[in-house]
Amino acid sequence: MAKFERHVFVCTNFREPGSARPSCSTDGKSELHTALKNAVRAAGLGSSIRVNKAGCLDQCEHGPTVVVYPEAVWYDGVTVADVPEIVSEHLIAGRPVERLTIADECLNAAVCPHRPALVTRS
Amino acid sequence: MAKFERHVFVCTNFREPGSARPSCSTDGKSELHTALKNAVRAAGLGSSIRVNKAGCLDQCEHGPTVVVYPEAVWYDGVTVADVPEIVSEHLIAGRPVERLTIADECLNAAVCPHRPALVTRS
């Protein structure tokens, strides 16, 4: 095969407690990444869809964050419980999960309802 | 702003010496990631182009590996010396650097001139 049909990046960034911005992972490992990877494999999509760990995706106030390329669909507040829906709806059926999608006014916004003005961005 | 204009993922995966597959990074940190990030910032593109660390991108025999989305352009054997050309040609001018592009017959191939048949894939 050639390029991945979809490439899923899961933020696994960890910051020490008390940092200016929150972390997407509590340990730098990410059970979310493991759950997504296992679910994609179980669905028989392991060779066409890659689930990757990523460093900070810069949407920290919305984490845990996941982005799916090439369509550039961004998800926030993703938990292990959301994995079956992301896999069946988005990765298999091609319908992004709207309830998890980061709002346009929030994505990369300097200030939004979830990101106070004084946060220092990485 | 909304979505990143381009999102660059740099494999920073490190394996112990003697592992079945090679590593893209010698230390898990990646001076390549740092150099790309700094060059993008220096070009004034820091808010529209994100340079991210990534875990194993599964092109280990071609590493160090970089992938640029949403266009899904894959580069192999990337060094710090290649950073200025990637930034000026691809990220600014929109012309992928052909000499660094992973050949179609190599990308995700089970076997290719760079990937022997007996390699165990992650």
Integer CA distances (angstroms), B39 to A18, A93, B33, B50, B93, in order: 30, 38, 10, 11, 15
> What residues in B contact A109, CB-CB < 8 Å?
1
pLDDT value at residue A70: 96
pLDDT value at residue A122: 54
The partner residue sitting opposite A7, judged by closest CB among B4, B69, B107, is B69
Vertex A45, ends A44 and A47: CA angle to 5°? Answer: 115
pLDDT value at residue B120: 56
Residue B85 is which amino acid? E
pLDDT tens profile B7-30: 999 999 999 888 988 889 888 789
pLDDT value at residue A67: 97
Which of A52, A76, A107 to mutate: most B Cβ within 10 Å? A52
Q: Would you call B34 helix, strand, or coil by DSSP? A: helix
Return the structure tokens found at A105: 């006014």
User: Is the per-residue pLDDT at B73 higher than 80?
Assistant: yes
* pLDDT tens sequence for chain A (122 residues): 578 999 999 999 989 888 988 889 888 789 999 999 999 999 999 889 999 999 999 998 888 999 999 999 999 999 999 999 999 999 999 999 999 999 888 898 888 888 777 555 55
Which ipTM was obtained for this model? Answer: 0.91
The mean of the pLDDT values for chain B is: 91
Chain centre to alpha carbon of residue A4? 17
Instruction: List residues in chain B touching A: CB distance below 8 A.
Output: 1-4, 7, 9, 12, 47, 50, 52-58, 67, 69-72, 74, 104, 107-109
pLDDT value at residue B63: 84
pLDDT value at residue A121: 57
Q: Would you call B116 helix, strand, or coil by DSSP? A: coil
What percent of chain B has pLDDT above 70? 95
pLDDT value at residue B55: 94
Report CB contact under 8 Å: B70, A74.
Answer: no
pLDDT value at residue A118: 57
Tokens 């192999």 correspond to: B76
The predicted model gives B86-104 an average pLDDT of: 96
For the beta sheet containing A66-69, the strands, ordered from the edge strand earlier in sequence to the opposite edge, are: A73-75, A66-69, A6-11, A49-54, B49-54, B6-11, B66-69, B73-75
The partner residue sitting opposite A69, judged by closest CB among B1, B12, B70, is B70
Instruction: List residues in chain A touching B: CB distance below 8 A.
Output: 1-4, 7, 9, 12, 47, 50, 52-58, 67, 69-72, 74, 104, 107-109
The predicted model gives B34-50 an average pLDDT of: 96
Q: Would you call B73 helix, strand, or coil by DSSP? A: strand
